[in-house]
Amino acid sequence: MRDRAATALDAAVAAGAAYADCRVVERTVQSVTIRNGRVNNVSELEDAGTGIRVLVDGAWGFCGTQRDDPAGLEEAARLAVRIARASARTPVARVRLAQAPAVTATYVTPVSIDPFSVTLDRKIDLLLAADAAMDVAGITTRVGSLGAVRHHQIFASTEGSCIEQTIIETGGGLDATATGDGEVQTRSFPNSFGRQQLAAGWEIVEEMDLPGNGTRIAEEAVALLSADPCPSGRMTLILDATQAALQVHESCGHPTELDRVLGFEAAYAGTSFLMPDMLGRFRYGSEQVTITADATSPGGLGTFGYDDEGVAAQRTLLIDRGIFTGYLSSRETASQVDAPSGGTVRAESWNRLPLIRMTNINLEPGTSSLEEMIATTEHGVYLETNRSWSIDDRRLNFQFGTQAGWEIRDGRRVRLVRNPLYSGNTPEFWNSCDAVAGRAEWRMYGVINCGKGQPGQVMHVGHGAAPCRFRNVAVRPA
Amino acid sequence: MSQAALHGGDLLDMADRILRRIPAGREAEVTATRTASALTRFANGAIHQNVADCTTRLRLRLIGDGRAGVAEMQAESDDAAAALVQTAETVRSQAPPGEPVPLYAPDGGPDAETGYGADTEAVTPEQRADHVAVVCGAARDRGQTAFGACETGVTMVAMASTTGLRRSARHSVAELIAVCRGEDGSAYGARFAAGVSDLGVEDLAAEVVERCARNQRAQPLEPGTYQVVLSPYAVAEMLEYLGLMGLGGLALSEQRSFMRFGDPIMSASVSISDDVTRRELAPLAFDGEGATTRPVTLIDNGVGRAVVHDSVTATRAGVATTGHSFPQPNSDGPLPRYLCLTPGEGSEESMIAGCERGLLVTRFWYVRPVHPLATIITGMTRDGTFLIANGRVLRPVRDLRFTQSIVGALADVRAIGANRLASRGYHGATLAPWMHLGGFTFSS
């Protein structure tokens, strides 16, 4: 792999690149899906290739190739240079890269049990046991899935970096769907979007206890069919940690991406309401709200040794006790605000250009607890597990729906409610946060469907979160 | 040198070579897909990301002794072929016995290449940059700034199986997306075609800069239920979500679909089909299990007629597959790929003239299902929303969030446009006209 990187970089320089980097990637993805008691899919994907990124006359070019022979790599490098030169047919804003030291290093995700060492028999048996647990009256669709990823990569640059990394991910999850009386209700465990996934080994699947939670979620899905609609009005809202994680993702993670702020995503993913002159001054949320971008968080899907520009993993304060303090940045974007790169550049695979992506965007733990939040709420709702999400292109106007809700009266959960929605405006919402649960209830969650960029890239990102409470939020049924 | 220079050998030959490696007593299906694509992205009036790649993906489904296994590789060497067979056999041997989805037997359908344009395959980085330069220049001339992307790509798919299936076809996509921003407002437009020569770059540039000029200094508007005149971009998004939520055979069999055959479901002026014969949708002739994709009338004058099927849901429903399968086995079930809304006789101008008070919506954004069975979606308007009063466009308004049942909205159709525009979809493309609807709920 190192030879391939050297060949590609030499060819890029020979063709005229002032700077070049390349990623030689080997990736294996295994997935197992059980549906209604039958093995629906057992598959393994192996993927290998090289992505070459060049700067020529201040403009970027990129080419991805599966060929691993010298001639193929040289051809791809030359095409990357030609593409960069074509960029000059429009006025070029010359790219400057923030300084970054050349690094020689290795990094491997720490795991106790390699997920690829666990036999398929054992994985299928686990899912079949969970499937049987979900097989309660009223359930029409039961789905269980397990996934494992091994991403092995060499990053090398003409500045002298050579970094070898192996990232391992493991995940699993259940969905139970009940249908009847004009309603379709799904409950998921541990999270929606198919599964909970972490940068960790098989040990995290064993800790989930999928079979032990199957019956509970199935019974909740059936109960939701006949539950009362969610109450409507402005009220106190308590989010479970999984929904808090997605709230952070959409309304804190994306708007702090500096490429959005600079207009790079204006035609697609959108821009941001967070202008650079707001740094250090803008009150994003209440004193309870501290949010970090932490690529060193154990187990997070955004945890690595170095990003895809060779910048070391780091922890950046994005929101410090409510005040907006930082961005997610790349070497290119950081240079435009005279800052060092935040080390948050990532590519889905070898055939995609690295972009600013979330690492682990964490809502730091507070001092409360879910029990205390409910006990001190006169009237409100407690909502669990995302069902729908939507936010505007500047990341201000949002609406989320969750799978389940419970109405709270006088400090107690009094009834299950269905189809809850809540909506709001990002800074107003975070300023209404009056409690975040403490370390004991803080968990790391994985989002495996974060889309961005053209061509589209789906990235795996992490969010540490805990249950949290918001006052005077607009809540209603779908 | 073009992207095509990165290509390897013939895909169907490659599929045959893999089939020859299959152990005795196994049934097998090989799918080889090669996509050569390039995308030139621009922001702030200049190209800022400019990429190309060529990816070959091999997929082998192996069945034997009632067990099935799937292996996939993104590679195209003989070594990769050998490893693919070995991995699939390992996966198959460890899978529990069951009732695997049977391999599809050849149906004799033609490998038509309706959706292929040689001009798209031949396009160069310089030509893409020149298309971008047209948009950037038009914006600059009006004091605006341009953002967007120009993408071209060719995909070839070859399938071969032990049932005698042996087919291959190409299709190509060309897309130009443009967003122009002025001092205080933006506008959107896009063109999609099989052939890059059919994009109509100058027309798109003119459309977007004109819309941007009108969409400046938008004022807030009170949420509520309004009539809407929807551009084809917004109509296409609505159709896509209707298809995702309820026009597939699996959703219907699992009681997750709004569809009721033979019943009036929406306005009698609405007819929706999935039409693989439309070249402007850059169609591919067959689906993920090798079945010929056939045109399907889904809604006929407001009455529910059919959903799309793969072999699994078709067998369950006692009908023939319509050729809308993803690679088997899968959890998603069949979905429409080439949705078309039958045109009417209206135009953007006549619809605005016929609207007493309502909103002209260019584009929906970040649409998500809220209640799939009731076809309720939520999302935002974006890049050009205007208040219509007394048959005239009065002023731009700030973006609004909508939460609305699609079926409910299509129950009150005031007019449908005569001209349609092709838009890229989530799994294919969509052909949509302008529409004037009687009620659409904006919630914030």
Residues whose CB is less than 8 angstroms from the CB of residue B342 and which lie 6 or more positions away in sequence, other chains included: B270, B271, B272, B273, B416
CB A459 within 8 A of CB A452: yes
Mean pLDDT to the nearest integer, B21-35: 96
Predicted confidence at residue B98, as pLDDT, reads: 86
Model confidence, pTM: 0.95
**Residue A119 and residue B94: Cβ atoms within 8 Å?**
yes
Predicted confidence at residue B91, as pLDDT, reads: 85
CB B100 within 8 A of CB B68: yes
Q: What is the mean pLDDT of chain B?
A: 95
Predicted confidence at residue B9, as pLDDT, reads: 54
Q: Report which of B39, B1, B42 is spatially closest to residue B134, judged by C-alpha positions.
A: B42
Predicted confidence at residue B2, as pLDDT, reads: 44
Mean pLDDT to the nearest integer, B367-393: 96
Residues whose CB is less than 8 angstroms from the CB of residue A135 and which lie 6 or more positions away in sequence, other chains included: A37, A142, A218
For residue B4, pLDDT beyond 70: no
- The partner residues of B261 in beta bridges, in order of sequence, read B304
For residue B143, pLDDT beyond 80: yes
Interface test with A, best of B11, B99, B175, B380 (most A CBs within 10 A): B380
Q: For residues A211 and A139, what is the distance between their CA atoms, to the nearest angstrom? A: 16
- Domains of chain A plus CATH, in order, are 2-225 (3.30.2290.10), 228-477 (no CATH)
Pairing outcome for strands A228-229 and A412-418: parallel
Task: List, as ranges, residues 226-265 from A with C-beta within 8 Å of B.
Answer: 262-265
Mean pLDDT to the nearest integer, B179-188: 97
Residue identified by tokens 């979905």 is B335
| Residues in chain A where the model's pLDDT stays below 70 | none
**Chain A to chain B, count of Cβ pairs less than 8 Å apart?**
256
List alpha helices for B114-172, DSSP H.
118-122, 125-141
For residue B5, pLDDT beyond 50: no
Q: In what helix (H) or strand (E) does residue B404 lie, and over which residues does it extend? A: strand B401-405
- Domains of chain B plus CATH, in order, are 3-214 (3.30.2290.10), 224-442 (no CATH)
The ipTM is 0.93
CA distance B344 to chain A (A): 31
**Sheet of strand A291-294, all strands in order from the earlier edge strand to the far edge:** A323-324, A315-320, A291-294, A361-363
For residue B244, pLDDT beyond 50: yes
Predicted confidence at residue B3, as pLDDT, reads: 44
CA distance A336 to chain B (A): 14
Task: List, as ranges, residues 36-95 from A with C-beta within 8 Å of B.
Answer: 38-49, 51, 59-67, 72, 75-76, 78-80, 82-84, 86-87, 89-93
Predicted confidence at residue B7, as pLDDT, reads: 43
| Chain A residue with minimum CA distance to B127 | A86
Task: Please report residues of A whose CB lies closer than 8 A to that of B378.
Answer: 388, 390, 399
**Residue A179 and residue B255: Cβ atoms within 8 Å?**
yes
Q: What is the pLDDT of residues B394-434, one digit of tens each?
A: 999 999 999 999 999 999 999 999 999 999 999 999 999 99
**Residue B91 and residue A120: Cβ atoms within 8 Å?**
yes
Task: Please report residues of B whose CB lies closer than 8 A to that of A89.
Answer: 47, 126, 129-130, 132-133
**Residue A393 and residue B94: Cβ atoms within 8 Å?**
no
Task: Please report residues of A whose CB lies closer than 8 A to that of B50.
Answer: 59-62, 83-84, 86-87
**Residue A83 and residue B52: Cβ atoms within 8 Å?**
yes
Task: List, as ranges, residues 116-135 from A with C-beta within 8 Å of B.
Answer: 119-121, 124, 128
Task: Please report residues of A whose CB lies closer than 8 A to that of B255.
Answer: 140, 179-180, 184
Cα A144 to the center of its chain, rounded Å: 21
Interface test with B, best of A28, A43, A457 (most B CBs within 10 A): A43
Task: Please report residues of A whose CB lies closer than 8 A to that of B151.
Answer: 454-455
What backbone torsions phi and psi does residue B183 show, to the nearest 5 degrees? Answer: -65, -35
